[in-house]
Amino acid sequence: MIASIPTTSSPTAVDPKRRFRLRKLAGLAAATLIPVALVGTLTPGTARADAPAGGSTSPTATGPTTNSSSAQSAQAAQAARTAAMFTSAGSYMPKAPKSTGGWTADFVDNFDAPLDVKTWGRYMGGAPHGSHATYMLDNATVTPSPSAPGSGILQLHTKYENGRWTSAGMSSGRGFAATGGKWVVKAKFDRAYGVGYAFLLYPKGGAWPPEVDFAEGTAGGKSIMATVHYDPKNYQIQRWLHNVDMTKWHTYGVILGDNTIEYTIDGRTWATVTTPHVPKVPMWLGVQSGVKDCAITTGECLSPDTPKDSAISIDWIAHYKQS
């Protein structure tokens, strides 16, 4: 069961420097501000999207220990996860629909071929604020189906190797941005406490704000936070969705209307924000991961039990315009 608890936070200012750091998109000469996961504003009396019940904040945790047998076990587990991705019953949909409910796709990537570098720019170097994970090009890869030629899945890996964490991120800024419309990401997550993620929209011109984070949280939790950033002082409006089994396939979406922003899961609207601050400029889509010792205000921390290799698996990404 998915329970929605939409809550509007009072406009709260956060130092933009805390949330943003200068990043470079791989292969691009110009630097771009890349929003980062796991940093935000907590309204008193409410729980962050990455907040599990209970727990405590603890000192910095070291990463998982490494030995040959555990490495072999990790490889076997990853192979099993890869096979399961393509055989999941029910919600697995190998192709993005070309049209749905009065919407027609004008951008689709089913990740059935090697990553299109003319569209997608992978992040390289640097790390989200407070994160130990450095962005690496090779952590964002397309995995072919072992049983269905021509089918594939994008995987954003967060890894612990040789005493350090690395993560993945990429954006459509090279090849596609849109004003308004509906964005949808079909994804599932390996459960990994301390590993964070964000699916977001960011202005093509690079002038922040606006920004819309339509799915953000941690891979160990069952809650999703969505945030509209609409002011240079980082005033924002947030909504939360709880009790989501993110280890299963879901579609995570956002619809930008004239004066509304709708957040969707599996095609159903779970929250609507009515605001004059709907972005009116072309926005590209970004997907990214990161890690922290402990997520802000929660007891969810990296520990020796955090997988040495976890993945966000993305079946497809699409943008739709009204028919």
Query: DSSP letters along 272-293, please?
Result: EEE-TT---S-EEEEEEEEE-S
Cα gap 233→201, rounded to integer Å: 18
pLDDT at 295: 59
pLDDT at 19: 38
Mean pLDDT of 60-89: 47
Phi, psi of 75 (to 5 degrees): -65, -40
The average confidence (pLDDT) of the chain is 76
Strands 121-122, 133-135: pairing kind: unpaired
pLDDT above 90: percentage of residues in the chain:
57
- Give the model confidence (pLDDT) of 178-190 as tens digits: 999 999 999 999 9
Tell me the domains of the chain and their CATH numbers.
3-52+63-322 (2.60.120.200)
Flag whether the pTM goes above 0.85.
no
Q: Are 255 and 261 in contact (CB under 8 A)?
A: yes
Cα gap 65→193, rounded to integer Å: 16
